[in-house]
């Protein structure tokens, strides 16, 4: 992986570790473990600022680090991915709470995870992204989803085209376009498809609409999705990875970007589907659960 130095034994020389921390959650215990491991291995630990969160360590840049550690949850991991991707650095997600889709280990396992990374006992998990282009603005890279949603009364009107062919015209609350990583969040909540992490595809899911038929659409990695947007008198907003963008554009173009970032994974960690079941996102039929209780 570009930018990482390895010795003859495949051990990665961790000279500096970057931290992205949840802005309000208690991260004292895993942070202490990270700092103590770094000191014991003659490495520095620095904090990579993102949105002006509380200062826990001296500030540093992701390109100065060999690893970026996110301590918090999926939102914190997503922030770390945004900061680390441009520098080509891998992200280790540490969950303070339930293990999420973008986190790899729970807080008590920080030391062991750092040791496994340093000794080369890890797997790079490529994370795709969406490239979003809007008139009058530069391209944006999104790792979870793009949402176009109405802001008040009235409906949004969208004309959706795929590779230059009209797919559907929608009048309603808007739509969500997601990566495989983001498909288990807003997309599933809106009734869209769950995309396997290894699949190079992205999905369009309409939010509630006023009639018509336009099922959730899974697009291949070479497809280009185009949206023409008109808002009602209540207006609308554009959200990129949950962040509201000033002004609603009248058009968007969305394309797939494979391998835009890297997460640290371990061979023995739970599978994506197992994690979704444990978190209650995938739930068995009530009749089956009732049969289990009777038996």
C-alpha–C-alpha distance, residues 147 and 206, integer Å: 10
pLDDT of the residue at 279: 85
The overall average pLDDT reported for the chain is 91
Domain edges within the chain: 16-122+266-288, 129-259
Give me the residues paired with residue 292 across strands: none
For the domain bounded by 129-259, which CATH number is listed?
2.60.200.30
In CATH terms, is domain 16-122+266-288 a member of 3.40.50.10330?
Answer: yes
- Catalytic residues, which ones? 74
User: Is the four-CA dihedral 163, 168, 173, 175 of positive or negative sign?
Assistant: negative
Per-residue pLDDT tens digits for 32-72: 999 999 999 999 999 998 876 788 999 999 999 999 999 99
Q: What pLDDT is stored for residue 120 in this prediction?
A: 92
Half-sphere exposure (Cβ direction) of 6: Cα atoms closer than 13 Å: 10
Residue 12 clears pLDDT 80, i.e. is over it: no
Question: What does the alpha-carbon distance between residue 282 and residue 259 come to, in Å, rounded to a whole number?
Answer: 26
- pLDDT at residue 4, rounded to an integer: 43
């Amino acid at each position: 992986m570009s930018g990482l130095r390895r010795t003859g034994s495949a051990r990665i020389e961790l000279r500096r570790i970057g931290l992205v921390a949840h802005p309000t959650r208690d991260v004292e215990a895993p942070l202490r473990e990270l700092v103590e491991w770094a000191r014991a291995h003659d490495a520095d630990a620095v904090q990579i600022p993102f949105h002006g969160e509380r200062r826990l360590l001296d500030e540093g840049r992701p390109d100065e680090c060999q690893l970026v550690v996110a301590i918090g949850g999926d939102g914190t991991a997503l922030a770390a991915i945004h900061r680390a991707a441009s520098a080509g650095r891998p992200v280790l997600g540490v969950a303070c709470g339930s293990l999420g889709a973008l986190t790899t280990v729970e807080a008590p396992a920080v030391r062991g995870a750092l040791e496994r990374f340093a000794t080369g006992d890890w797997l790079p998990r490529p994370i795709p992204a969406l490239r979003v282009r809007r008139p009058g603005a530069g391209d944006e890279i999104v790792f979870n989803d793009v949402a176009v949603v109405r802001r008040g009364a009235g409906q949004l009107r969208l004309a959706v085209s795929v590779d230059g062919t009209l797919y559907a015209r929608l009048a309603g609350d808007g739509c969500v376009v997601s990566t495989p990583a983001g498909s288990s969040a807003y997309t599933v909540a809106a009734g869209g498809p769950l995309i396997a992490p290894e699949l190079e595809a992205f999905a369009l899911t309409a939010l509630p609409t006023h009639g018509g038929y336009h099922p959730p659409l899974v697009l291949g990695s070479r497809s280009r999705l185009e949206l023409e947007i008109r808002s009602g008198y209540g207006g609308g907003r554009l959200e990129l990875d949950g962040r509201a963008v000033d002004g609603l554009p009248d058009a968007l173009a969305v394309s797939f970007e494979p391998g835009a970032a890297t997460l640290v994974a371990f061979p023995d960690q739970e599978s994506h589907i197992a994690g979704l079941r444990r978190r209650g996102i995938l739930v068995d039929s009530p009749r089956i659960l009732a049969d289990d209780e009777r038996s």
